[in-house]
DNA sequence: AGCCATATAACAGTATACGGAAATTAGGAT
DNA sequence: ATCCTAATTTCCGTATACTGTTATATGGCT
């Protein structure tokens, strides 16, 4: 309803953005503007502009050899979680206060999927349900800038999210903390929501920190075969 | 030291960004890519990409007839100040703790200029000194993401900043609150810095709110002459 | 004189083309 | 075999050209 014809840049941007959100682009993938352009059937410019926009928002990093997902350092984790602790507890409180019935249903649905996915080990479903969960409660925020800021800071972690769910014990703690948060939301208890969001964030930080160490360990191993990477295997799709 | 040759996009972007920060672009100016390109002696693409980047960061708004500075609604003010209250007090506390002697000197220098500018009514100098002040303390933050988030949220107000300084009484309160903040910084008193930053923010919010009403009032008057605007008078400079 | 239809111009979006820098690969010398 | 240098590829940055849409201006009608 905003525009009848969204521009090509917008289309490409949104698609890439959602791929990043769904962890479909790993830290070893290279996004090259010509490849993206070919995939979407456009010229280089729209693809390039979409990529540059993602760069300016911090979701990608421009290199001399294509665009890549930035690798988070431990310091990045510290900084980002300081920001999240600053924003999300209060936001959760506001969301709990203004939660709609529709959002409640979505939250519960997502929570069910998360529990199932935890049991079956379906990390892909887990990532998607996590996104639904987040969208449901941030959607109830009246402060849209706050909502988008929160979403942005969370999305910086999407590249390593899959690894976060690798360890079963860590994942269990994660799911439990989210269950507590879910209960607070359903009860529309602002104080509990704020508190449990804070707890959730501390749990998430340690989970990400261990995931980061795991990844760096793997990277040190993989570093043997002259650092070559399978480039764009995911993006160049022969239609 | 980062790159020997910053790209044209980068140059254009930085220049436009600092113009916006210095309130050199008003809400009635139109930025057109061809004009910008001509001014910087480049083709349309670098100018366009710089403008688009400013759009994606929220500093500009793309219309069918050039790029303009977005007009803030009262709701925008509410949202933005909610975010600022969330971030800046704690950031001020951290900055007070980690303040360098160099930053102290800059802060005091800026404060002196602000007081002088307040006395003489030189709003231009006031805007510049305000920027120096902000840069000094945010520069001491170890969390760079926090620093840039704060700067971004502040910069959304630059378009109406000049008007904020129009009313003498309001300006006096503003300068006084900033003086208190300055003292807390110099004493490296984190708690006082946090408290005074919060007070400063509430003072700033009311100042901006009155400024906004003033502008809207003027706009309602100006709306008579068929809405035509002097376009790009500031940007098309015959070299 | 004021209003509506048509023509014109301004401007964003997109496509294509070229140049240059960095990384990779190939080749030759030690 | 290993290192260094040269050729090549890859891919970004920039320039130019074209198209479609929207605002503005022009002219006729009431």
Task: Give tens-digit pLDDT for B136-154.
Answer: 999 999 999 999 999 999 9
Nearest to A84 by CA among A21, A38, A152: A152
Three-state SS annotation for chain B: CCCCCCCHHHHHHHHHHHHHHCCCCCCCCCECHHHHHHHHCCCHHHHHHHHHHHHHCCCCEEECCEEECCCCCHHHHHHHHHHHHHHHHHHHHHHHHHCCHHHHHHHHHHHHHHHHHHHHCCHHHHHHHHHHHHHHHHCCCCCHHHHHHHHHHHHCCHHHHHHHCCCHHHHHHHHHHHHHHHHHHHCCCHHHHHHHHHHHHHHHHHHHHHHHHHHHHHHHHHCCCCCCCCCCCCCCCCC
Do B146 and A83 lie within an 8 Å CB cutoff?
Answer: yes
Q: How far is CA B178 from CA A216, A222, B125, B127, B171, in A?
A: 45, 54, 16, 13, 10
CB distance A54 to A17 below 8 Å = yes
Does residue A50 have a pLDDT over 70? yes
**Cβ neighbours, 10 Å, residue B34:** 14
Does residue B161 have a pLDDT over 90? no
B70 phi and psi angles, rounded to 5 deg: -65, 145
pLDDT tens, B43-81? 999 999 999 999 999 999 999 889 999 999 999 999 999
Q: Do A105 and A15 belong together in one domain? A: no
Beta pairing, strands A61-63 & B61-63: unpaired
C24 C1' to B90 CA distance, Å: 49
Segments forming the whole domain that contains residue B27: 8-70
Tell me if chain B has a CB within 8 Å of the CB of A152.
no
Q: Do B103 and B44 belong together in one domain? A: no
D5 C1' to A226 CA distance, Å: 20
**Chain A residues lying within 8 Å of B149, measured CB to CB:** 83, 149
Higher pLDDT, residue A217 or A69: A69
Higher pLDDT, residue B41 or A170: B41
Q: What is the separation of C-alpha A11 from the centre of its chain, rounded to a whole number of angstroms?
A: 19
Strand C: list positions under 7 Å from protein Cβ. 10-17, 21-25
Tell me if chain B has a CB within 8 Å of the CB of A79.
yes
What pTM, to 2 d.p., does this model score? 0.88
Percent of chain B with pLDDT over 70: 88
Q: Do B30 and B127 belong together in one domain? A: no
Q: Residues 63-102 of A near strand D (Cβ < 7 Å)?
A: 63-67
Q: Is the CB of B239 within 7 Å of strand C?
A: no
Angle at B96 between CA B92 and CA B101, to 5 degrees: 135
Confidence of residue B234 (pLDDT cuts 50, 70, 90): very low
Three-state SS annotation for chain A: CCCCCCCHHHHHHHHHHHHHHCCCCCCCCCECHHHHHHHHCCCHHHHHHHHHHHHHCCCCEEECCEEECCCCCHHHHHHHHHHHHHHHHHHHHHHHHHCCHHHHHHHHHHHHHHHHHHHHCCHHHHHHHHHHHHHHHHCCCCCHHHHHHHHHHHHCCHHHHHHHCCCHHHHHHHHHHHHHHHHHHHCCCHHHHHHHHHHHHHHHHHHHHHHHHHHHHHHHHHCCCCCCCCCCCCCCCCC
Q: Domain holding A46: CATH number? A: 1.10.10.10
Q: Do B81 and B129 belong together in one domain? A: yes
Nearest to B63 by CA among B159, A117, B71: B71
Higher pLDDT, residue A153 or A225: A153
Name the closest nucleotide to A228, judged by C1' and CA.
C24
Q: Which residues pair with A63 in a beta bridge?
A: A66
Q: Do B135 and B54 belong together in one domain? A: no
Residue B194 located in a structural domain: yes
Q: Residues 28-47 of B near strand D (Cβ < 7 Å)?
A: 42-46
- Low-confidence winner among A183-192, A223-232, B64-73, B94-103 (lowest mean pLDDT): A223-232
Q: Residues 180-209 of A near strand C (Cβ < 7 Å)?
A: none
Rounded distance, CA B113 to CA B122, Å? 10
Does residue B227 have a pLDDT over 60? no
Residue B151 located in a structural domain: yes
CB distance B1 to B203 below 8 Å = no
Q: Do B118 and B66 belong together in one domain? A: no
Q: Do B81 and B56 belong together in one domain? A: no
pLDDT tens, B83-112? 999 999 999 999 999 999 999 999 999 999
Nearest to A66 by CA among A24, A23, A37: A37
Tell me if chain B has a CB within 8 Å of the CB of A73.
no
Among all chains, which residue has been given the structure tokens 């969204």?
A: A6
Q: Domain holding B194: CATH number? A: 1.20.120.530
Q: Do A90 and A56 belong together in one domain? A: no
Q: Do A39 and A112 belong together in one domain? A: no
Does residue B230 have a pLDDT over 70? no
Tell me if chain A has a CB within 8 Å of the CB of B152.
no
Nearest to A192 by CA among A111, A81, A93: A93
D24 C1' to B164 CA distance, Å: 34
Instruction: For residue B13, give how far its alpha carbon lies from the nearest alpha carbon of chain A (Å).
Output: 11
**Chain B residues lying within 8 Å of A82, measured CB to CB:** 143, 146
Confidence of residue A221 (pLDDT cuts 50, 70, 90): low
Q: Is the CB of A219 within 7 Å of strand C?
A: no
Among all chains, which residue has been given the structure tokens 């890519």?
A: B33
Could you say which of A56, A78, A146 has the minimum Cβ distance to residue B79? A146
pLDDT of residue B26: 85
pLDDT of residue B95: 98
- Low-confidence winner among A62-71, B3-12, B32-41 (lowest mean pLDDT): B3-12
**Chain A residues lying within 8 Å of B144, measured CB to CB:** 79
**Chain A residues lying within 8 Å of B53, measured CB to CB:** 52-53, 56
How high is the mean pLDDT of chain B?
88
pLDDT of residue A164: 85
**Chain B residues lying within 8 Å of A57, measured CB to CB:** 56
Q: What integer is the mean pLDDT of B168-189? A: 94
Tokens at A89, concatenated: 């507890």
Confidence of residue B221 (pLDDT cuts 50, 70, 90): low
pLDDT tens, A130-153? 999 999 999 999 999 999 999 999
Q: Do A90 and A45 belong together in one domain? A: no
Q: What integer is the mean pLDDT of B215-223? A: 61
Rounded distance, CA A83 to CA B143, Å? 9
Residue B234 located in a structural domain: no
With 0-12 / 13-18 / 19 or more C-beta atoms within 10 angstroms meaning exposed / middle / buried, residue B51 is buried
CB distance A194 to A93 below 8 Å = yes
Q: Which residues pair with B63 in a beta bridge?
A: B66
Q: Is the CB of B45 within 7 Å of strand C?
A: yes
Q: What integer is the mean pLDDT of A158-180? A: 88
Q: Do B95 and B193 belong together in one domain? A: yes
Instruction: For residue A83, give how far its alpha carbon lies from the nearest alpha carbon of chain B (Å).
Output: 7
pLDDT of residue B211: 86
**Chain A residues lying within 8 Å of B148, measured CB to CB:** none
Confidence of residue A161 (pLDDT cuts 50, 70, 90): confident
With 0-12 / 13-18 / 19 or more C-beta atoms within 10 angstroms meaning exposed / middle / buried, residue A189 is middle
The total of structural domains in chain B comes to 2
Residue A227 located in a structural domain: no
Q: If phi over 0 gives left and psi between -120 and 50 gives alpha, with beta otherwise, what is residue B232?
A: left
Tell me if chain B has a CB within 8 Å of the CB of A132.
no
Residue B50 located in a structural domain: yes
Q: Do A128 and A41 belong together in one domain? A: no
Residue where a domain stops, chosen among B70, B103, B124: B70
Give me the sign of the Cα torsion angle B25, B29, B30, B35: negative
């Amino acid at each position: 309803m905003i525009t009848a014809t969204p521009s090509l840049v917008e289309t490409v941007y949104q698609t890439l953005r959602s791929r990043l959100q769904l962890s479909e682009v790993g830290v070893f993938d290279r996004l090259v503007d010509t490849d993206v352009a070919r995939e979407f059937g456009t010229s280089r410019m729209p693809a390039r502009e979409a990529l540059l926009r993602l760069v300016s928002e911090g979701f990608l990093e421009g290199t001399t050899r294509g665009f890549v997902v930035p690798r988070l350092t431990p310091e990045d984790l510290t900084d980002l979680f300081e920001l999240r602790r600053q924003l999300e507890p209060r936001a959760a409180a506001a969301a709990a206060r203004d939660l709609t019935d529709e959002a409640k249903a979505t939250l519960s649905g997502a929570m069910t999927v998360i529990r199932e996915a935890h049991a079956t080990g379906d990390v892909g479903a887990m990532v998607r349900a996590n996104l639904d969960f987040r969208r449901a409660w941030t959607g109830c925020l009246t402060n849209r800038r706050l909502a988008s800021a929160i979403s942005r800071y969370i999305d910086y972690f999407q590249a390593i999210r899959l690894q976060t769910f690798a360890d079963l014990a860590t994942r269990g703690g994660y799911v439990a903390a989210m269950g507590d948060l879910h209960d607070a939301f359903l009860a529309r208890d602002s104080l509990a929501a704020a508190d449990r969001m804070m707890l959730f964030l501390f749990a998430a930080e340690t989970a990400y920190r261990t995931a980061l160490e795991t990844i760096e360990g793997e990277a040190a191993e993989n570093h043997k075969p002259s650092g070559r990477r399978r480039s764009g295997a995911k993006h160049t799709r022969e239609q």
